[in-house]
Amino acid sequence: MAVIINGKDLLFEEVIRVCREGEKVIIAGEAKEAMNKSREYVEKKLKEGAVIYGLTTGFGKFANVAISEEETAALQKNLIISHTCAMGDAYPVEYVRAAMLLRCNNLCRGYSGIRFSTVQTMVDMLNAGIHPIVPEKGSVGSSGDLAPLSCIALGLIGLGMVEYKGKIVEAKEAMKKEGIKPVELAAKEGLALNNGTQMMTAVGLNVLWDAFKLLKIADIAVAMTGEAQQAIRKAYDHKVHEIRGQRGQITEAENLNKLLDGSGNAKPLHETKVQDPYSQRCAPQIHGASRDAIYYVRDIVAREINAVTDNPLVFADDDEVISGGNFHGQPMALAFDFLKIAISELANVSERRIERLVNPAISEGLPAFLTKYGGVCSGFMIAQYAAASMVSENKIYDHPACVDSIPTSANQEDHVSMGTTAARTAAMVLDNAQKVIGIELCAAAQAIWLREELGQDGIKNLAPATRAAYEYIRKFSDPIEEDIIMEPELAKFDEMVKDGGIIDAVEKVVKLK
């Protein structure tokens, strides 16, 4: 199979297949025609001596500096070389692959004046597994992701370093081995390659994909904790949620009812209590709000995947080249700030449920810190500390990047989006949230086992869906009798959340939304 790109209808799922599974990419014939038409128009305007930003002028504050026809190739190459100012650790390969794909798809629309052969070369690199090294820091998100996209373009012209077959090598070496000729940039091409929002979109898109998985796993964690805490299921009654009308909340209640259907631990009503604390009872409301936010972000990202975001834009049919601002990352900045807040809330409420599992004053009769040998053993005491640390760290990352701006290019670019920072911090929040929810799963499984040890039939009374989750957990993690080194144990749960295998186990019993 291959993903065919034309700049118009690339799907979220197709981007994931290319960036994570290595699926091949093909440029559609209609896209080739569109790019050729746009390029022919650019060549025509150059011959006419037209004054066009980025073609016959400098960039940014140098927009008023005229560039001769003889200097246009040097202008484009110098643009890429001078703009490769990104610093820090390299982005993961899947982020770079996504950015390369999105950039090619953007150019396929035929509004950028780039040669088809140049875009095909980037596709060839993508298909051959040649991934330019792109440091994480250095983009203000307007004019797009100049520094990181320049790092990708640097590889395209055979300069800089790339990841190739698990090794870091020179770009020209990897391209030679694959029979790919580095591009010699023509007029407009450097600007077409580095002006746009594809790096922030690539990062945010990957975070978003994992956020959808995390929604389901967070629901599984709620259900597991509900089993351990003998929760009251009546709070998830569909009547309660339908009269509020919030879609995410209704879906979350449906998921929790499916997960707990048939449980002898979490009953519709209990003889000894009338309600649970908010972290359990209000899970549909809390998770549902995050779900709605995450789906909102998906709509924004789905549009940006097929958006034309470079500058200037070539409208050959209208005989116009317009210098606009589609590179400005504000739509993505706002969305990714919202995304990280939504993910963070999943971790916040999870940590509160962990506290209820380990605190003997509020744990519904469970042993203090989930150990049978309190005093000699500390059990899950510090696991809750770790969760608390990470949710507090997320509160720092949650500060919205989009409310900040700093002028660049001698105040020509006087408002920037910081959208790439929003996407990067969303990735940090996601990692912490995955770890916190992993801790909850670990603690809930321990609590269910302890109920059984105390003669309360914790395991025997599990619902079919939560039993599937419990049995999946026990394939990788045994109950903790006495204190152990916890870090490798919790790392198992972090990996369990990240790979999503627990979802597959549960969905053999019930399908979650």
**C-alpha to C-alpha distance for 56 and 14, rounded to whole angstroms:** 37
Domain at 476, CATH number? 1.20.200.10
Tell me, what's the pLDDT at 164? 98
Given its phi and psi angles, is residue 95 left (phi above 0), alpha (psi -120 to 50 degrees) or beta?
alpha
Tell me, what's the pLDDT at 59? 65
Known catalytic residue at 53: yes
Res. 412 pLDDT band, cuts 50 70 90? confident
Q: Which residues pair with 162 in a beta bridge?
A: 132, 169
Query: Would residue 234 count as lying in a domain?
Result: yes
* Contact yes or no for 229/364 (Cβ under 8 A): yes
Residues 146 and 242 in one domain: no
Six-digit token string for 243: 């009269």
Residues 372 and 304 in one domain: yes
- Name the percent of the chain lying above pLDDT 70: 98
Residue ending a domain, choose from 196, 215, 248? 196
Residues 254 and 166 in one domain: no
Six-digit token string for 308: 């034309």
> DSSP string covering 243-279, please?
TT--HHHHHHHHHHHHHHTT-SSSBSS-SS-S---HH
Query: Would residue 333 count as lying in a domain?
Result: yes
Residues 37 and 145 in one domain: yes
Please say if the pLDDT value at position 478 is more than 90.
yes
Please say if the pLDDT value at position 319 is more than 80.
yes
CA end-to-end span of the chain: 27
Tell me, what's the pLDDT at 23? 98
Average pLDDT of span 287-292: 98
Please state, rounded to an integer, the average pLDDT across all residues of the chain.
Answer: 94
**C-alpha to C-alpha distance for 238 and 230, rounded to whole angstroms:** 20
Residues 347 and 416 in one domain: yes
Query: Would residue 127 count as lying in a domain?
Result: yes
Six-digit token string for 478: 């045994």
**C-alpha to C-alpha distance for 213 and 76, rounded to whole angstroms:** 42
Please say if the pLDDT value at position 294 is more than 80.
yes
Q: From start to end of 410-476, where are the E strands?
A: none
Using a 10 angstrom Cβ sphere, with 0-12 exposed, 13-18 middle and 19 or more buried, the burial of residue 274 is: exposed
Res. 187 pLDDT band, cuts 50 70 90? confident
Query: Would residue 512 count as lying in a domain?
Result: no
Res. 48 pLDDT band, cuts 50 70 90? confident
Contacts 24+ apart (CB under 8 A), 356-359: 356/225, 356/229, 356/277, 356/279, 356/280, 357/225, 357/228, 357/229, 357/440, 357/443, 357/444, 357/447, 358/383, 358/384, 358/443
- 430-439, pLDDT tens digit by residue? 999 999 999 9
Res. 71 pLDDT band, cuts 50 70 90? confident
Residue ending a domain, choose from 196, 226, 255? 196
* Contact yes or no for 205/12 (Cβ under 8 A): yes
Residues 45 and 159 in one domain: yes
Tell me, what's the pLDDT at 74? 83
Alpha-carbon separation of residue 473 from 356, 442, 476, 494, 503 (angstroms): 21, 8, 6, 12, 11
Residues 169 and 232 in one domain: no
Residues 190 and 227 in one domain: no
- 98-147, pLDDT tens digit by residue? 999 999 999 999 999 999 999 999 999 999 999 999 999 999 998 889 99
Alpha helices by DSSP H, 307-380: 330-358
Res. 411 pLDDT band, cuts 50 70 90? confident
Residue with tokens 């009308």: 245
Bridge-based pairing state of the strands 313-315 and 167-170: unpaired
Please say if the pLDDT value at position 52 is more than 80.
no
**C-alpha to C-alpha distance for 382 and 199, rounded to whole angstroms:** 37
Query: Would residue 59 count as lying in a domain?
Result: yes
Residues 212 and 93 in one domain: no
Residues 119 and 208 in one domain: no
Domain at 167, CATH number? 1.10.275.10
Please say if the pLDDT value at position 54 is more than 80.
no
Q: Supply the range of the domain harboring residue 340.
A: 204-507
Residue 436, C-beta contacts closer than 8 angstroms, at least 6 positions apart = 347, 350, 351, 354, 387, 390, 391
Six-digit token string for 207: 């975070």
**C-alpha to C-alpha distance for 74 and 92, rounded to whole angstroms:** 31
Query: Would residue 513 count as lying in a domain?
Result: no
- 488-502, pLDDT tens digit by residue? 999 999 999 999 999
From the candidates 53, 95, 111, 472, which is the catalytic residue? 53
Q: Domain total for the chain? A: 2
* Contact yes or no for 182/169 (Cβ under 8 A): no
Tell me, what's the pLDDT at 58? 65
Residue ending a domain, choose from 167, 196, 225? 196
**C-alpha to C-alpha distance for 211 and 217, rounded to whole angstroms:** 10
Residues 368 and 421 in one domain: yes
Q: Is the dihedral of CA 374, 378, 382, 383 positive or negative?
A: negative
Residue with tokens 């152990």: 484
For the chain, state the CA radius of gyration: 26
Query: Would residue 190 count as lying in a domain?
Result: yes
Residues 210 and 192 in one domain: no
Please say if the pLDDT value at position 66 is more than 80.
no
* Contact yes or no for 25/5 (Cβ under 8 A): yes
Tell me, what's the pLDDT at 61? 65
Tell me, what's the pLDDT at 60? 64
**C-alpha to C-alpha distance for 307 and 304, rounded to whole angstroms:** 5
Six-digit token string for 309: 């975001």
Query: Would residue 366 count as lying in a domain?
Result: yes
Average pLDDT of span 326-343: 96
